[in-house]
């Protein structure tokens, strides 16, 4: 699989994921587990929804790393 998440998109996903998880802990809600999705896509640099849509925010020279 080729990386398709990069730059600002990656940072935004990690911060958003951590924020959702934090709010879930604060309110003692299992809905905070949804934060794992943007967090993991940001950490691994791969978004499953981007593949069928043909979208990539990653620079081409970094895409194969």
Q: Is residue 53 in some structural domain?
A: yes
**pLDDT, position 42:** 95
Q: Is residue 65 in some structural domain?
A: no
Asked whether the predicted pLDDT for residue 65 surpasses 60, the reply is no
Q: What is the total count of domains within the chain? A: 1
Q: What is the mean pLDDT of residues 7-16?
A: 96
Q: Which two tokens stand for residue 37?
A: 């999705």
Q: What is the mean pLDDT of residues 39-57?
A: 93
Q: Is residue 42 in some structural domain?
A: yes
Cα 7 to Cα 25, 29, 32, 42, distances in angstroms:
28, 31, 25, 10
Which residues in 1-65 belong to E strands, given as ranges? Answer: none
| DSSP code for 7 | T
Asked whether the predicted pLDDT for residue 1 surpasses 90, the reply is no
**Domain residue limits at 25:** 8-57
* pLDDT higher at 20 or 54: 20
């Amino acid at each position: 699989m080729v990386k398709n998440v990069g730059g600002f998109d990656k940072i935004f996903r990690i911060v958003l994921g951590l924020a959702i998880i934090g709010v879930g802990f604060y309110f003692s809600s299992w809905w905070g587990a949804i934060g794992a999705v943007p967090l993991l896509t940001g950490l691994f640099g791969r978004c499953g929804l981007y593949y069928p849509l043909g979208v990539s925010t990653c620079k081409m020279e970094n895409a194969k790393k």
